[in-house]
């Protein structure tokens, strides 16, 4: 249920919910705020993710590091218990860490955060709306405080906290697996273009859960190509596009938990194309 709210709020950010920008923004602000997501802040960073998808320098999220920039301690996690720990931390707190500290986000020359209106993620004309998002989050926290006073903390954790953790885990799982795959490249400035980047995303198969997630799991390639299209047309459009894109369409039916374990093992950092012919093309590697 909360994933459906997430999907509609995401759609509002893409101006794909209604024909009127104001309706999209009001509905998106209400829904995302209820999920403690700063609506405008994420709308703008997410749009930038869409327009720079797959770029090593300018993509906003799930930007892999080159080997030379990997922190020294990473090698200690390159084993099954370490990997399990990284997966658990990523799934449970990856989303708030991204919003608050830009973890896995684009490298900026100073600290940045989705709650900071003056942060480098945002342009000058976007800053006022970042304040509005922050105001929304503060109001939501106040409402939650009032609920705790009336119903108690345990009640809130059961009715709101646990479903929120579940939805955050789903959001990170789905989006991580759409943007991370051993066979998909990232592009440096010399080789990147928007279409190449959009085609370097992958659709996955969650079995019966595809329906639960409104097919956001297996229509992501088409979402990157036509982001103003509502999610309920995603399947139809994907079926039309598959034969047109041919080998440029990426789909992986590996069972999700198997795929998650494999990507966490294989996709640790990136290195330029091995034969050196295309220095602007980066592939996932895992050997330190
Ligand atoms: Zn999107």
**Residue range 221-274, pLDDT digits in tens:** 999 999 999 999 999 999 999 999 999 999 999 999 999 999 999 999 999 887
Instruction: Tell me the C-alpha distance between 249 and 221, whole Å.
Output: 8
Q: How many angstroms separate the alpha carbon of residue 138 from the centre of ligand 1?
A: 25
Q: How many angstroms separate the alpha carbon of residue 250 from the centre of ligand 1?
A: 17
CB contact set of 104 (below 8 Å; sequence gap of 6+): 61, 62, 63, 94, 98
Coil, helix or strand at residue 41: helix
Which residue range(s) make up the domain with 230?
A: 2-285
Q: How many angstroms separate the alpha carbon of residue 50 from the centre of ligand 1?
A: 7
**Per-residue pLDDT reduced to its tens digit, 112-128:** 999 999 999 999 999 99
Q: How many angstroms separate the alpha carbon of residue 89 from the centre of ligand 1?
A: 23
What's 65's DSSP letter? P
Phi, psi of 61, deg, nearest 5: -150, 155
Q: How many angstroms separate the alpha carbon of residue 224 from the centre of ligand 1?
A: 7
If one counts every other C-beta atom within 10 angstroms of the C-beta of residue 51, the result is: 14
**What's the whole-number mean pLDDT along residues 174-182?**
96
Model confidence at 276, pLDDT cuts 50, 70, 90, reads low
**Closest C-alpha among 215, 234, 213, 217 to residue 225:** 234
Phi-psi region of 161 (alpha: psi -120 to 50; beta: other; left: phi over 0): alpha
Coil, helix or strand at residue 126: helix
> What is the structure's pLDDT at 274?
73
Strand 251-252 vs strand 203-204: parallel, antiparallel, or unpaired? Answer: parallel
Instruction: Tell me the C-alpha distance between 9 and 27, whole Å.
Output: 7
Q: How many angstroms separate the alpha carbon of residue 12 from the centre of ligand 1?
A: 10
**Closest C-alpha among 227, 90, 238, 261 to residue 171:** 90
Q: How many angstroms separate the alpha carbon of residue 163 from the centre of ligand 1?
A: 22
Q: How many angstroms separate the alpha carbon of residue 264 from the centre of ligand 1?
A: 23
> What is the structure's pLDDT at 275?
66
Report the number of distinct structural domains present in the chain.
1
Considering 2-6, 42-46, 284-288, the range whose residues carry the highest mean pLDDT is 42-46
Q: How many angstroms separate the alpha carbon of residue 80 from the centre of ligand 1?
A: 32
**Closest C-alpha among 42, 59, 13 to residue 198:** 59
In the chain, % of residues over pLDDT 90? 85
What's 187's DSSP letter? E
**Number of helical H runs and strand E runs in the chain:** 12, 5
């Amino acid at each position: 249920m909360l994933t459906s709210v997430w999907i509609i709020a995401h759609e509002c950010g893409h101006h794909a919910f209604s024909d009127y920008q104001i309706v999209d923004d009001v509905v998106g602000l209400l829904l995302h705020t209820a999920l403690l997501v700063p609506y405008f802040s994420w709308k703008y960073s997410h749009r930038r993710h869409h327009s720079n998808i797959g770029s090593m320098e300018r993509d906003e999220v799930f930007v892999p590091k080159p080997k030379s920039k990997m922190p020294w301690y990473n090698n200690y996690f390159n084993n099954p218990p370490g990997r399990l720990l990284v997966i658990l931390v990523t799934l449970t707190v990856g989303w708030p860490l991204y919003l608050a500290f830009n973890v896995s986000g684009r490298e900026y020359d100073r600290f940045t955060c989705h709650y900071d209106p003056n942060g480098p993620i945002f342009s000058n004309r976007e800053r006022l709306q970042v304040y509005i998002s922050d105001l929304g989050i503060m109001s939501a926290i106040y409402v939650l405080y009032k609920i705790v006073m009336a119903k108690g903390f345990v009640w809130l954790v059961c009715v709101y906290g646990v479903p929120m953790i579940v939805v955050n885990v789903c959001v990170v799982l789905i989006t991580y697996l759409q943007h991370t795959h051993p066979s998909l490249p990232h592009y440096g400035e010399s080789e990147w273009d928007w279409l190449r980047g959009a085609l370097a995303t992958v659709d996955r198969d969650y079995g019966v859960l595809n329906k639960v997630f409104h097919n956001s799991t297996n229509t992501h390639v088409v979402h990157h190509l036509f982001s103003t299209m509502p999610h309920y047309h995603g399947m139809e459009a994907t079926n039309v596009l598959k034969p047109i894109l041919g080998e440029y369409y990426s789909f992986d039916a590996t069972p999700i938990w198997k795929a998650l374990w494999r990507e966490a093992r294989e996709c640790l950092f990136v290195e330029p194309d091995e034969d050196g012919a295309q220095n602007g093309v980066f592939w996932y590697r895992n050997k330190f």
